[in-house]
Amino acid sequence: MPHYLSDAELKRTAPAEVAAFRGPIPTQIVSNGEYNPLPQTEEQRKVEARVTQLASDLAPKHGLSRRKFLATSAGMAAAFIAMNEVFGPVFEVSRAEAATPGVADLRAQALSGQFIVDCQTHFVRDDFKQEGLLDLAKYAKTNWNPKLWGESKLERYKFENYVKEIFVDSDTKVALLSGAPFDDSSWDLLSNDQIIAARTSINKFAGSRRLLGHSVFTPKKDGWMDQVDRAISTLKPDSWVATWVLDKGTPSDERARLLKHEQGHYDIVALLARDLFNEIMAIKAKTFGAPDDPVDAVKEILDTYDPRFQSLQDLYDGKTGHGLEAGEQTRWNGLIARAFGESRLSAELSGPARPGPTPLVDVLKDERILH
């Protein structure tokens, strides 16, 4: 697969399919090749060790090997237990779900009717001819699912199988169909018109809104604003995707700079979402005098975070000059890494004298970037 890591970065990494912990949850950040992943944190190492220990203790009760146990619903429950022990009571899970055969499966069945939205789905147009796409299914069959069918047929990625796997074989209630542009347009998955045509077809058949649709645009590409205006007036997408296709002549160091800066935007959102979630979950440990008090507490948190998502993105762009100020970009890379990897004691988040992740805002206040 293509990647943007330097030779030095490649020497510091290992392929996830052979080096990563083979458990039901990831226990460290895995890169898709666009950025150099952060090292495993101390908390992630603790979760990994605890999942391994729980699997060793509980797999015999299920008559399974440790590896097979971790592939079951009970193994997933064990992973949730491990994360609760390290990060605090975030997930609602009982030890019986991990220890007693059948309990986790019963809960999974009871939850099968829950509302599930798959917010990034794809299929390819009927005249798509790029057989290089088949490598995805071939890899999946070799490494993940030996029973996977159609790994050598592009039909696996087309409309009929999309409907079957999204709406028949899974518990998904609503899906969002998207697309992606490429330097080579023969690789384009679907046009915006095809996305909306699929939305219309499925929703008409279902008699309800089961499929939502993106419109995709590429800033600075010839005629891109005309495409946006047309989509607004005629296609009426449910949401938008702005994607960037770099010119083939763009130097590799410029690509790396752009990708690293854009990764920072993603990381800021991920950190704020984590911190927001932790603050809301901390409410569970509090005692309130009136039924509406917890709702008011959640609203107060949301009112604090809602403007923060955009203001910190603007601050990041302003300080780094959209990544052009190398010194400031390096500084922000370090701040983001600190927020991912640093822990602080927080009785409110994790119980007395237990470490919790350091909120991004606290890191920025430490450096006097925020007040």
Residue 370 to residues 320, 361, 364: CA-CA distances in angstroms? 15, 7, 6
Helix axis angle, 73-87 to 42-58, nearest 10°: 140
| pLDDT averaged per 10 residues, the chain (length 371) | 68 83 91 79 93 97 95 96 91 95 91 89 96 91 87 94 94 94 87 97 96 91 91 96 69 78 92 91 86 91 93 95 93 93 60 69 93 83
What is the per-residue pLDDT for 308?
93
Q: Residue 271 — φ and ψ, nearest 5°?
A: -65, -45
What per-residue confidence (pLDDT) applies to 347? 46
- The reported pLDDT for the residue numbered 272 is 94
Q: What is the pLDDT of residue 247?
A: 59
Length of the chain: 371
At 183, list the tokens.
């330097």
| Cα–Cα distance list, 10 to 14, 37, 81, 169 (Å) | 7, 11, 34, 38
The predicted structure's pLDDT at residue 87: 87
Q: Which residues contact residue 199 at a Cβ distance below 8 angstroms, ignoring those fewer than 6 apart?
A: 177, 211, 212, 213, 238
- Count of CA atoms in the C-beta half-sphere (13 A) of 42: 8
User: Residue 248's pLDDT is what?
Assistant: 56
Burial label, 190 (beta-carbon count in 10 A; 0-12, 13-18, 19+): buried
Cα distance between residue 37 and residue 333, in whole Å: 12
- Residues 6+ away with beta carbon under 8 Å from 161: 123, 150, 155
How much is the pLDDT for 326?
Answer: 92
Q: Give the pairing type, strands 211-217 and 174-177.
A: parallel
Question: Domain-by-domain residue ranges, the chain?
Answer: 7-110, 117-242, 252-366
Radius of gyration of the chain (CA): 23
CB 131 within 8 A of CB 196: no
Distance CA 137, CA 93 (A): 33
